[in-house]
Chains A and B, each alone.
Chain A
Amino acid sequence: MKTVHLELLLGRVVRDPEGKKAGRIFAVRAEPDGEDCVVTEYLLGTAAMMSRLGISAKRLLGWPIRRKPLSIPWDLLDLRDPKKPRLLCSLAELKGKKG
Chain B
Amino acid sequence: MKKKLPDELELARDLLDKQVVDRDETKMGRVDGLVLELREGKPPRVDHLEMGSAVLARCIHPRVESWVDALRRRIGVQKTGRYRVPWAAVQEIVPYQVKLDVKAAETPAFAWEHWLRDHVIAHIPRGLKGKAN
Contact = CB atoms under 8 A, between A and B. Distances in A.
A32 B45 CA distance: 9
A10 to B, nearest CB: 6
B37 A29 contact: no
B117 interface: no
A36 B12 contact: no
Nearest to B40: A2
B106 interface: no
A38 interface: yes
A64 B37 CA distance: 38
Interface string A29-40: 111110111111
B59 interface: yes
Contacts of A37: 5, 9, 45-46, 87
Contact of A6 (B8, B16, B43, B88): B16
Contacts of B38: 2-4, 79-80
Interface residues of B, number: 28
Interface string B50-94: 000001001100000000000000000000000000011000000
Contacts of A8: 58-59
Contact of B12 (A10, A35, A79): A10
Nearest to B3: A32
B47 interface: yes
B7 interface: yes
Nearest to A74: B43
Contacts of A1: 37, 47
B44 A74 contact: yes
Contacts of B32: 7
A7 B16 contact: yes
Contacts of B88: 35
11 contacts: A6-B11, A6-B34, A6-B36, A7-B55, A8-B59, A28-B12, A29-B8, A37-B5, A37-B9, A39-B36, A40-B8
